[in-house]
Chains A and B, each alone.
Chain A
């Protein structure tokens, strides 16, 4: 295959080529730098409840598997529509993000809630329209659930 080394002065005679190349290099270079700089390839270290509120269910489950107490109240950050207050359990966090599969997983890993707490969380799920979660937390038909 013959290879030619021509082309040095072609840049000047290719305004369309420059018009295609220069803005692209600038824009994609800047965007690429911003995206790469914001890509931290490590898992953020959040407690299980905060991880769930930030929708990082994998981190929450991994933390519990590695020994974090799934029944403990953890401090949480401020999220839209959620008052962090004195913190919350992973179970409550899962109810607030309406993830019934995650609730089942937490219960499987030993998350405990007494009867009043389960009723409170079931009522919270009902107020959010998450009937799937209500069925997990409340024994009996949804119609029999009494909420304040």
Chain B
């Protein structure tokens, strides 16, 4: 895999098998389970109701234009999507918003499984573990626990997965058109949409030719045009240092403290955020820029069981990925890269770029796309371990089996925590609606009430009538192994 060298004919896709269908079935089933729990979360109050009240009486063109000129966050397509979902709902808000969320989850699972290229039992057997990593990573939970009408980060995951799928497909001019369209759509939804061009360029460098050279150049040109427009013609900047709080060291700092410490040299803070964002996917530490485990050790506090599970599972996964990385580099050096190695290269690029894009502040969900592609790396790593198993001596074999079993158990526990986390999110969100009118008063949104009153009352009624278990009653002891933060 020399940079830009096309994948050899011998590495072309094998025909699909029954195991391919099994893999898709498992992926879609897992996504469906998550979707069921997501469906029981009422529409979120904060960052949601205010947006819905804003878009009620605004046209699409006006909405797009207003948010293209936003100083810090240029996300006009996200607002257009919210309005489209709102108009599509025709008063049936909960079912429409949850249906959109469920479709996004199913699309994520389907596009992800396609990249795994499952063709045999040994591949299919690793899919459940991979899905546990996908859904169990703390970076993923924000894409499902935050019950917005349209979750922008999940949209970006779908868009980036779609772009990589185009790259691994047979070349066709429609792939180029779709790639440019996906990039434009993603970029104007959330700034993380830049990951699409990273995926497209990395895929080209890895020898994947589903998108032609012209498609790649078009995406790069579009990116250049976006930067010229944003920072040049429109004179829009980036979010400032004091825009929001962020973690640093052993604690979270509020905006004023961040400005006080880093206004003279913000690059130190930005570099810290990039490194921490990368590390949080690999080791589940730090979390949102705060070194929680280290803080426990420093303060000689008890380390909670969930933290041990998180750290242990991530250490094992990263160790297996590192081992695979050595093998992949060796194959690349010998000019014998496999398809999985190329996809792994793209995954590493997306993971790294996700971390770079998180320079402004750290938040777990901002690494959600990076986390999805880390799961892909874990899959390739375990497949690599499996394919080399027969050639190993007995000691490495035993170690390999033990590591995979430990991975399997630990990530099962992590992923099992997601439904519990979603139930708790449902309970908290429902509680928020109990005092919505007091909240609206405190937010100064009272003047918009006359026009928005029917919307607020309907969402409130749907929320309060939602059957949600109380997590404060009868919590089993084994919940302490779940990351419910």
Contact = CB atoms under 8 A, between A and B. Distances in A.
B413 A31 contact: yes
A24 B129 contact: yes
B365 interface: no
A35 B419 contact: yes
A6 B473 contact: no
28 contacts: A4-B18, A6-B17, A10-B122, A13-B122, A17-B121, A17-B124, A19-B400, A19-B401, A20-B407, A23-B408, A23-B409, A24-B408, A27-B413, A27-B416, A28-B415, A32-B419, A41-B469, A42-B467, A55-B431, A55-B472, A56-B470, A61-B434, A62-B434, A62-B465, A102-B435, A104-B435, A105-B435, A105-B437
Contacts of A146: none
B470 A23 contact: no
B204 to A, nearest CB: 26
Interface string A1-12: 111111100110
A52 to B, nearest CB: 10
A34 B16 CA distance: 36
Interface residues of A, number: 49
B272 to A, nearest CB: 34
A14 B127 CA distance: 14
A70 to B, nearest CB: 13
A7 B125 CA distance: 12
Given A24-B132, A58-B463, A101-B438, A3 B469 contact: no
B126 A7 contact: no
Nearest to A65: B464
Contact of A24 (B128, B419, B423): B128
A7 B16 CA distance: 12
Contacts of B123: 17
B476 A43 contact: no
A62 B431 CA distance: 11
Contact of B17 (A4, A44, A60): A4
Q: What 9 pairs between A and B have smallest CB-CB spacing? A: A17-B125, A16-B386, A14-B122, A10-B121, A2-B15, A31-B416, A101-B435, A27-B412, A28-B412
Contacts, number: 168
Given A24-B129, A24-B409, A55-B472, A16 B19 contact: no
Interface in B454-485: 463-465, 467-470, 472-474, 476, 478
Interface string B100-138: 000000000000000000011111111011001000000
B469 A17 contact: no
Nearest to A21: B125
Given A27-B413, A40-B469, 9 more contacts: A16-B386, A18-B125, A20-B126, A28-B128, A43-B468, A56-B472, A58-B434, A99-B435, A101-B435
Contact of A58 (B420, B464, B472, B478): B464
Interface of B: 14-20, 40, 119-126, 128-129, 132, 382, 385-386, 389, 397, 400-401, 404-405, 407-409, 411-413, 415-416, 419-420, 423, 427, 430-431, 433-435, 437-439, 442, 463-465, 467-470, 472-474, 476, 478
Contacts of A32: 416, 419
B408 A1 contact: no
A56 B426 CA distance: 11
Nearest to B125: A17
For the complex, would chain A's binding face be called helix, strand, loop or mixed by DSSP majority? helix
Nearest to A34: B476
Given A7-B120, A16-B401, A39-B469, A57 B408 contact: no
B476 A20 contact: no
Given A32-B416, A34-B476, A42-B467, A14 B431 contact: no
Residue in B16, B122, B427 with the greatest tally of chain A CB atoms within 10 Å? B122
Contact of B408 (A10, A19, A42, A99): A19
Contacts of B19: 7
A4 B415 CA distance: 32
Given A16-B386, A17-B126, A27-B409, A35 B416 contact: yes
